[in-house]
Amino acid sequence: MKITDQILDLFLDNPPNTFFNQLQSNKDLSNLKNPDTFRKLGYQLNREGYHSELIDFLNYAITKKNIFECSESYIADTFVLLYTRAYYNTGNYNELIKVCEKFKLQFPNSTLVQLSTLNGIALGEKNIGNYQNAFEKQVKIVEIVLNSPEKEKYFIDLHTALSNLGIICQDLKYYDKAYFYYNKCLKVLDKIDKKVDKTSVFLNISECLAATNRINEAISIVNECLISYKKKHIAFNLFMYKLTRLYKVKFLLQNKQLSEAKDILDDFIPVYKNTETHVKNEAIFCYLLYLYCLKKYNLFIEEFKKNKEFILENMSHKYLEKILVKLENITNFMQFDELKNECSELRNRFEAKNPKHQFFINEATLNQEIIVNI
């Protein structure tokens, strides 16, 4: 058993105060005082879906400053980052904004903390529908980095902000603007390291292509990403590799290439319940789309019901809207009266969480000239 697995078991079996007391007295686990081990445990809690437990862990650990020295960079790269992921994955976006605002006020002179908290606030704002505020916060990150005399030091933050600006434009169907930000993001990544994994940016670009009916181009991009992994042009990342294969499934289904899609899906259907939240999201979404394309409506309903709470809690508004439309179509087509009330309830829950009138950004903000010279 790895040391982090041992620590994880200890944490999950005890309340935070007991957990930390045991760490203090257990020499075998004393290396949690090492910031790298602490960070690994945080990432492990997040990766394995223990998001609420991670919040408890961070809340208690932040009060135990004698365990390790909390430098400003450690606050930014560990605490703010892990809080952001934990609150984001629990859908508690208002708390995400609050905790980032708190760190932002505590470290007003730290560029690292300012950048990481602005990103956390922007993610929270975007996910409660305040796209205008989210866009402005990401632009602020770009400005801070480009105006810094040490801008190379903050290229990771610049890449993240440019990518998020692309995602905001993509969500609002401003695909040309999204391309602009994604291409700038790729240039920043090249400055960091020519061999750095750019797959997440390429997947976003492929989605823009698919949304504008350039599906073959989208499939070509994901194929290139998969080839890069196989030929080891970039460091192998199992999470991104699985995600890339599922994006390919999505595009194949859109292109009515059902048999090719099924060949890939067969690797995921037996195991997606035990995989990372984001991969599970994609796998469930792709499998439901596949069943719908085959007109296996009873299986679609069965699979949806089996995963309903996970879908409602974790699936993006974009995916959830598509699934609900298909469920409503099946209900009407098959005349499943018993499902009509449930569909209505699900629609109400979805619209309460995703108010349509908030998903906008004014033209002046969208069209402002952002020059990224690096």
In the numeric block, the tokens 């996970």 are attached to 310
Identify each DSSP E strand in 198-345 by its residue range: none
DSSP string, 218-234: HHHHHHHHHHHHHTTSS
Cα–chain center distance at 275: 15
Of 57-61, 132-136, 336-340, the range with the highest mean pLDDT is: 132-136
Query: Is residue 30 pLDDT above 80, yes or no?
Result: no
Q: In this predicted model, what pLDDT tens digit does every residue of 186-200 receive, in sequence order?
A: 999 988 876 677 999
What is the token pair recorded at 7? 């620590």
Read out DSSP for 52-66? Answer: HHHHHHHHHHTT-TT
Q: What is the mean pLDDT of the chain?
A: 83
Higher per-residue confidence, 75 vs 66: 75
Q: What are phi and psi of 197, to 5 degrees?
A: -75, 115
Amino acid identity for residue 300 in this structure: F
Contact yes or no for 215/209 (Cβ under 8 A): yes
Confidence label for 68 from pLDDT (cuts 50, 70 and 90): very low
Is the pLDDT at 356 greater than 80? The verdict is no
Phi, psi of 210 (to 5 degrees): -65, -35
Answer yes or no: is pLDDT of 358 > 90: no
Dihedral angle sign, alpha carbons of residues 11, 14, 17, 18: negative
Distance CA 127, CA 59 (A): 23
- Rounded mean pLDDT, 326-343: 80
- The rounded distance, in Å, linking the Cα atoms of 137 and 161 is 9
Q: Is the pLDDT of residue 83 over 70?
A: yes
366 in Cβ contact with 174 (< 8 Å): yes
343: exposed, middle or buried (Cβ count in 10 Å: 0-12, 13-18, 19+): middle
32 Cβ neighbours under 8 A, 6+ residues apart: 7, 23, 38, 41, 67
78 neighbors 300 (Cβ within 8 angstroms): no
Distance CA 306, CA 184 (A): 41
Cα distance between residue 227 and residue 230, in whole Å: 5
Give pLDDT, residue 357.
45
Give CATH for domain 91-196: 1.25.40.10
The answer on pLDDT for 268 being more than 50 is yes
178: enclosing H helix or E strand: helix 175-192
Contact between residue 100 and residue 120 where contact means Cβ atoms under 8 Å apart: yes
